Structure 1
Amino acid sequence: MRRLWRGFSSYTIIGVANTLIHWQLFFLLSVAADLSQALSNLAAFLVAASFSFYMNAQFTFDARASTGSYLLFLGAMGALSLGVGHVADVWKFPGLLTVALFSGLSLVLGFLFSKYVVFREHEL
């Protein structure tokens, strides 16, 4: 079980910085620019995820950051971001609940997806 979560503390620290970037952009886009929560969440995610992708490649997973792995990460996690934002629009969630829900989901699901799919170690 310990091996499953190896690197999670580093991922979490980078995730805190990612969350600050994401939340600030989300509220700027949804409140000041009056965009939907789905679009605001997706746009904020794309900026914050670019930061955390490269930081996690270097510091958490000690992996090479390739264009393919970057696009895979953005595609999968971006779909989660857009999905959470869409549900929030439909159910009329407050913005704070939207970003909190997405942040929690992306912390756990993003770590597991990054570790076992995006930055998995290839056996030779």
Structure 2
Amino acid sequence: MKVLWKGFSSYMVIGVVNALILWQIFFVLTVAADLRQAASNLAAFCVAASFSVYLHALYTFESKATVLGYLLFSTVMGVVSYGVGRIADLWQVQGLVTVTSFWLLNLIGEFFFFRFVVFRECES
């Protein structure tokens, strides 16, 4: 039970920091750099995902990420992040709605990718 709690608590803490990174980069790029939401969302995802994989490897899963799993995760969720931003650009949705929608999708996708693909070798 203690191992399960350690994994859950570290996953949540890293997830909160990941969200802060994602949101900050998204808003800096859309507001200050005047980029479209699609490009801003993709760039923010790339930075936040790299941060998450590194810290989850150290603290949550205590295992190295599989390269193929990381590439698959980055590709699939990168396409999703760009797609959400592109739809938001086309429909002229507010940035807060865009980043919140993608963050929720990313939270679910990241959990399943990390648990079953990226860090699958850490299962004993």
**TM-score, length-scaled by structure 1:** 0.85
Match of 1:30 in 2: 30
C-alpha spacing 1:58/1:122, structure 2 compared with 1 (3 Å): closer
Match of 2:45 in 1: 45
How far is the alpha carbon of 1:7 from its aligned partner? Answer: 3.8
Say which SS state the counterpart of residue 38 (structure 1) adopts: helix
1:92 maps to 2:92 = yes
Aligned positions, number: 120
In 2, the alpha carbon distance for the partners of 1:8 and 1:122 equals 15
Structure 2: runs of 5+ lacking an equivalent: 1-5
Q: 2:69–2:118: 8 Å Cα contact kept in structure 1? A: yes
Match of 1:78 in 2: 78
C-alpha spacing 1:17/1:91, structure 2 compared with 1 (3 Å): same
> Identity of paired residues, percent?
57
How far is the alpha carbon of 1:114 from its aligned partner? Answer: 1.4
C-alpha spacing 1:20/1:90, structure 2 compared with 1 (3 Å): same
Match of 1:120 in 2: 120
Structure 1: runs of 5+ lacking an equivalent: 1-5
Q: 2:66–2:119: 8 Å Cα contact kept in structure 1? A: no
Match of 2:3 in 1: none
Q: 1:19–1:103: 8 Å Cα contact kept in structure 2? A: yes
Q: Which moves more between the two structures, 63-72 or 91-100?
A: 63-72
In 1, the alpha carbon distance for the partners of 2:122 and 2:8 equals 20
> Over residues 59-78 of structure 1, what are the superposed CA-to-partner deviations in whole Å (9 max), with x where a residue is unaligned?
22222134433322211211
C-alpha spacing 1:60/1:122, structure 2 compared with 1 (3 Å): closer
Moved over 4 A (4+): none
1:57 maps to 2:46 = no
